[in-house]
Structure 1
Amino acid sequence: MLTKAIRALSSWGLFFRAHNNQQVRYLNKSRFAHFNNIQQICRQGGYEPLFGSRTGLFELPELSDPNGFYLLKENAITQAEQLIAEAMYSHRKRKMVQIFDDLSDCLCRVADLAEFVKVGHPQGRYAQAAEHASLAISSLVEKLNTNRELYSALRSVIENGDIVPTTNAEQHVGRLFLFDFEQCGIHLDEERRQRVVALNDHILYVGGQFLQNSHRPRYVRQSGMPENLRAFFNRDGSENLVVSGLQADCSNELVREAAYRIYLYPDDHQLGLLDELLRSRHELARLCGFDTYAHRVLKGSIAETPENVETFLSYLSAELGPRAERDYQEMMGMKKTRSRHVKRLEPWDVPYFTSQAKLNKFVLDPREYMAYLSLASCMEGLDMIFNALYGINLEVVKPERGELWHSSVVKLVVKNATEQSRNSLASHMGVIYCDLFERPGKPHQDCHFTIQGGRRRSDGSYQIPKVVLMLNLPRGESGVPPLLTPSLMDNLFHEMGHAMHSMLARTEYQHVTGTRCATDLAEVSSCQLKWLLALTRLELSSKPARHNCRFSMRLWTTSIIQNTH
């Protein structure tokens, strides 16, 4: 199937041809030309309808106003209370796993939505309202995690069977719900259970503090820095120099050494936080019946035990050892060309000489390959991949008024190509909101947010998945489409892999839909898509004459290696 897909993708070269330093007329006729015209669209206020009633964010009528989050939260709490009562009712009619999945869905549809809006919406009122809703739902979840009656009702079904026969998949989902309970210590006595709750809160707080502090710049008095190095560092307006990173790309070894030693100098406060984090994690694991925190984290994963992880890492180290030695000797040789008295490679040398080795071997101006990588070209390529592999298409659609949170967001509908001619409703598999462009105040992170998980409803219909794809791509200059580097294109393909995982899962229960699978499986679809991208590059670049495409093998390979970190 992959070979067929790669062959089908050879036509992608047609889209690259449009950028041979000429014009983008072809791409402007593309179904994805919208992505290349984003500057003009934003200046015009977006592509939502200017008139008509407002539907609200994500087509939720309540969210035509920020106060709608209060209504969503209250409705979710009311529905949750009804489902809890149903789960504990001795004469219930439905399977326990169906009730629990309904409970999970009603809470997740508010919590997941709020998690995105509080970081992704540019308007403070929406973000603040979303944060309040998120806190309220999180508080309710914490209470449910300590509800012994609810836990006992579920455990009885898992151990003794339900009122009607259940499938293997339903039993698996039920065990996952039970595992979530027990991760929170629900099976312990009251004193130890409260200690588990307190430890979980403490671990979240301490871990957050540690991560936040790990990116703080360091300050050193100018008098403590050799005079010939001071110009390489910024000043904070007083007598201090600011060391905000490792200066890994600086050719001056003394600057790299100074930055390394200062930025990574042991911090007693950070060491204290780390010790407290490790101690608390170990106590939590022991309370929950595990030998170590590693045993707790790995339970239910592919690795299963710390011993298996150690075996894997030892094998990997042995396999990579000779290659690492060759790289080390090559970097040593590069360093010796600069000084005859070099005895070893220092830690601050490795990133610099790694970068230099790539530049020396693959000399290429990024402008040579970026001209081929417009965002519309990449979206065309993704559409071809998905059609060849899965028989689906991406379609840019016009949103409802008030559905989007920013004028640069593009709405994609995922459609089953084999069903489109017969039943438009059946062909509709999900929605991907593409929030791809950088803007002031937007988080600098590439990620995939689930807004609504896919699942089978009680009436037999299917709740389609809705996700947000968030990246920080440059918009492009006026009259020039957004152009991507290979690393940005890899990020796009990686996150689109997560989105497609959500679209194609089609699970009966939302608790296990898409990326809500085992953590060590969540990256499979993204890695597969990036791997296929690499194969596609070689397929396309090996046939320049056939497609009149001047994007050669050398250009692909060089661009990839230059942008690999």
Structure 2
Amino acid sequence: MRTIMQRTILKQLLNCNLNSTNLYFGTWSSLAATFNSRPDRKLTLSLKKENAGLFDVPELQSYEGFYYLKEQCILHTDKLIDEATSENRTRKMVEVFDELSDSLCKVADLAEFIRVAHPSAIYTQAAEIASATVSSIVEKLNTNSELYYSLLNVTNNGDKIPTNKVDNHVAKLFLFDFEQSGIHLPEVERHKVVNLNDALLHLGQHFVAGSTNPRRIRKEVLPESVRHIFSMEGDDVVVGGLCADSANSKARELAYRIYLQPDDHQDYLLTEMLKARYELAQTCGFPTYAHRALKESAIETPEMVMEFLDCLSDGLKKRAKNDFHIMSEMKRNEYPSNGPLAPWDIPYFRKKAKKQMFNVQNSEYSPYFSLGACMEGLDNLLHHLYGINLVIKEIVPGECWAQDIYKLAVMHETEGLLGYIYCDFYERSRKPNQDCHFTIQGGRMLSDGSYQLPIVVLMLNLPLPRWSSPTLLSPTMVDNLFHEMGHAMHSMLARTHYQHVTGTRCSTDIAEVPSVLMEYFASDIRVLKSFARHFQTKEPMPDDMLQRLCASKHVFTASETEHQLFYSALDQLYHARHPLNGSTTDVLAEAQAKYYSLPYVNNTAWQLRFSHLVGYGAKYYSYLMSRALASCIWQSYFEQDPLNRMQGERYRRECLAHGGGKPPRQLVADFLQKQPTPDVLVDSLLKDIDDKQKQIDEVQRKC
């Protein structure tokens, strides 16, 4: 039997292990205290000792479970195909298709996440096999003409079971997905579509792989004064990036010219990819690939995209040139004899301006942004807007792929549990070095009237907490955390009937709106004041620091927006009619002359490093579109009061709740109470830029 002293010591040790920061975080909430502790020191107090399986899926108690899941997926798919093509069907066709989609996504999404995130090779291999199996099933479905014509008949002539607007919209989305494979075409054209899609898959993979390859040159080519900045391998200098942060102007220039020099193989891959995409679009009945890519989007046509970009370009030119003038003066003062401002200078002077204008350095701000404080801030914000709270849930053995994962239950004050968020926040070896959101299970209405809860993973790459302090975030990390939580809330707060359109499963130009909107909250002084506290003293961040921080986030916004506009226009031009008017580099130079204030640098081919051309083909404009829509929403509903519950509820009810279950243009128009025309979008973006510049000017006067 333990003595009183032993029990006291044990209790202290337990408290220390469960919350190693209690010694200096005595007044943090339980949520903040948990996220400020070392996750690998948490104890499992559950009486459930057996392996629960990944994501609490019993079949995944070992990697072999993936083989079982894929076999079950095949059997269930066959059963649903029989139901969809049967004359005795008793459910809506769209309900059968959604269950078919759900059964495939449950295996594919989970397997794809484990493939990239699990540290064990045997798990990643099993997940990869499962993912490949689902891809094969999808390819088989895409050639099932009986299944296609069953859906086509219902879509064109109506279902024998009464349907509503949402049913009809989702059925059309399924039909369009089907027709992407050319199943509706005559045999010769259908085979051509299959071959083109296969070729595009391989071309895209090779292009993305080549976009990050370093350049190797003989060391004699570089001045001896800058060689030490680059990696050396024998007598070769290896240039693996742009050296954008280097204070050495010559090193920045050389890195830019060398890393972005033309590459015949990459140019061949890009040209062939654009050619194949054009052929694919033509075969499927579209004028261009851009028309095909923008079907069912919020902006609908490439002509409207270009109208938006041209209108924005006209409004930005004067504002962007003012930014570049300031940077030119900075360069002239620092490097009097190094020539005019060039593209390789922009990242360096943007970063330097933030420090010079507002004296904003990560080391000064990070102590106020412990991970726990940021999570407490998110919890407070979400409670004010939507009446929800983030509640730490215990993780049972076998549920997670690593030891340092947190699990959150999203609890609504009246609706109860809305879903689960797994927080994979800490860096580890072989983990993807990017911040992202993964859907593991989509929400949908089940046949018994209950709701299948959404499950997502948020992945960041934060440093682990130390014994002397919790994980401290830079301002950029805070923005990224809020951004990814915006995606998670889209998944959690959507209450769609069908998982095919739940949360982020919507058009690309809508999917980023909730996450970009969260960045507005992360840059609002009133929101930051609610949680930015020093991790040791718990003192709030001083107002002067808050003002400098928020202003620094908006330095040179006009020129940065113009840069993104140039990317977007180039993407549209590449995916218009083919063949191109010249080489891909000729099109780049022409687009840069029209849409960007700095001239093209001869003998460079930046587009050959632009891997987004693969994943965002003809859709890169979505970045600007999402920002324009987010700025409209912010200015109309949250700028006056970012914690307004009435507006938060309305935003959830009229936007987030629908996911992709409502035509995107109608969704936006109904919520904003006006059509999202190019003029409306551009006016909102320019107002946002001007407001941010006023904030900068005001803070500078105080400084």
Question: 2:280 aligns to what?
Answer: 284
For residues 203-242 of structure 1, give each alpha carbon's deviation from its aligned partner in whole angstroms, at most 9, with x where no partner exists. 1211121111111111011122222222222101x21011
Question: 2:299 aligns to what?
Answer: 303
Report the CA distance shift for 1:470/1:451 in structure 2 as closer, same or farther (over 3 A).
same
Contact 1:50–1:401 (8 Å) recurs in 2:
no
Deviation at 1:558, TM superposition (A): 3.0
* Residues 1:240 and 2:236 aligned together: yes
* Residues 1:319 and 2:320 aligned together: no
Deviation at 1:459, TM superposition (A): 1.4
Deviation at 1:395, TM superposition (A): 0.4
The percentage of counterpart residues that share the same residue type is: 50
Deviation at 1:552, TM superposition (A): 2.6
Report the CA distance shift for 1:538/1:90 in structure 2 as closer, same or farther (over 3 A).
closer
Question: 1:507 aligns to what?
Answer: 496
Question: 1:482 aligns to what?
Answer: 471
Deviation at 1:246, TM superposition (A): 1.3
For residues 374-398 of structure 1, give each alpha carbon's deviation from its aligned partner in whole angstroms, at most 9, with x where no partner exists. 1111111111111111111110011
Question: 1:458 aligns to what?
Answer: 447
Deviation at 1:69, TM superposition (A): 0.4
Deviation at 1:534, TM superposition (A): 2.2
Q: Tell me the distance in 1 between the aligned counterparts of 2:174 and 2:356.
A: 54
Show the 5 A alignment for 1:84-163. Answer: 84-163=81-160
Deviation at 1:452, TM superposition (A): 0.7
Contact 1:542–1:552 (8 Å) recurs in 2:
no
Deviation at 1:559, TM superposition (A): 3.1
Deviation at 1:299, TM superposition (A): 1.0
Deviation at 1:245, TM superposition (A): 1.2
Report the CA distance shift for 1:209/1:539 in structure 2 as closer, same or farther (over 3 A).
closer
Q: Tell me the distance in 2 between the aligned counterparts of 1:444 and 1:316.
A: 33
Q: Tell me the distance in 2 between the aligned counterparts of 1:435 and 1:85.
A: 40
The one of the two structures with greater contact order (alpha-carbon pairs below 8 A, sep at least 6) is 1
Contact 1:48–1:401 (8 Å) recurs in 2:
no
Report the CA distance shift for 1:474/1:563 in structure 2 as closer, same or farther (over 3 A).
farther
Question: 1:556 aligns to what?
Answer: 546
Counterpart of 2:319, as a letter, is: R
Report how many residues are paired. 530
Contact 2:37–2:465 (8 Å) recurs in 1:
no
Contact 2:495–2:502 (8 Å) recurs in 1:
yes
Counterpart secondary structure, 1:451: strand
Counterpart of 2:282, as a letter, is: R
Deviation at 1:416, TM superposition (A): 1.3
Counterpart of 2:464, as a letter, is: R
Q: Tell me the distance in 2 between the aligned counterparts of 1:219 and 1:542.
A: 48
TM-score normalised by the chain length of structure 2: 0.73
Q: Tell me the distance in 2 between the aligned counterparts of 1:48 and 1:332.
A: 61
Q: Tell me the distance in 2 between the aligned counterparts of 1:462 and 1:273.
A: 45
Question: 1:530 aligns to what?
Answer: 519
Unaligned 5+ runs, structure 2: 1-22, 555-559, 561-703
TM-score normalised by the chain length of structure 1: 0.90
Deviation at 1:115, TM superposition (A): 0.6
Q: Tell me the distance in 2 between the aligned counterparts of 1:364 and 1:526.
A: 24
Question: 2:40 aligns to what?
Answer: 42
Counterpart of 2:127, as a letter, is: A
Contact 2:70–2:130 (8 Å) recurs in 1:
yes
Question: 1:56 aligns to what?
Answer: 53
Q: Tell me the distance in 2 between the aligned counterparts of 1:111 and 1:48.
A: 32
Match of 1:188 among 139, 161, 185: 185
Q: Tell me the distance in 1 between the aligned counterparts of 2:252 and 2:327.
A: 16
Unaligned 5+ runs, structure 1: 1-21, 420-426
Deviation at 1:338, TM superposition (A): 4.0
Counterpart of 2:514, as a letter, is: S
Contact 1:541–1:556 (8 Å) recurs in 2:
no
Counterpart secondary structure, 1:310: helix
Counterpart secondary structure, 1:232: coil
Cα-Cα RMSD: 2.2
For residues 263-316 of structure 1, give each alpha carbon's deviation from its aligned partner in whole angstroms, at most 9, with x where no partner exists. 111111111111111111111110111111111111111111111111111111
Question: 2:267 aligns to what?
Answer: 271
Q: Tell me the distance in 2 between the aligned counterparts of 1:91 and 1:519.
A: 37
Counterpart of 2:382, as a letter, is: F
Report the CA distance shift for 1:273/1:542 in structure 2 as closer, same or farther (over 3 A).
closer
Report the CA distance shift for 1:428/1:488 in structure 2 as closer, same or farther (over 3 A).
same
Counterpart secondary structure, 1:26: coil
Question: 2:375 aligns to what?
Answer: 379
For residues 419-445 of structure 1, give each alpha carbon's deviation from its aligned partner in whole angstroms, at most 9, with x where no partner exists. 4xxxxxxx1111111111111111101
Q: Tell me the distance in 2 between the aligned counterparts of 1:343 and 1:118.
A: 49
Counterpart of 1:42, as a letter, is: D
Q: Tell me the distance in 2 between the aligned counterparts of 1:161 and 1:228.
A: 74
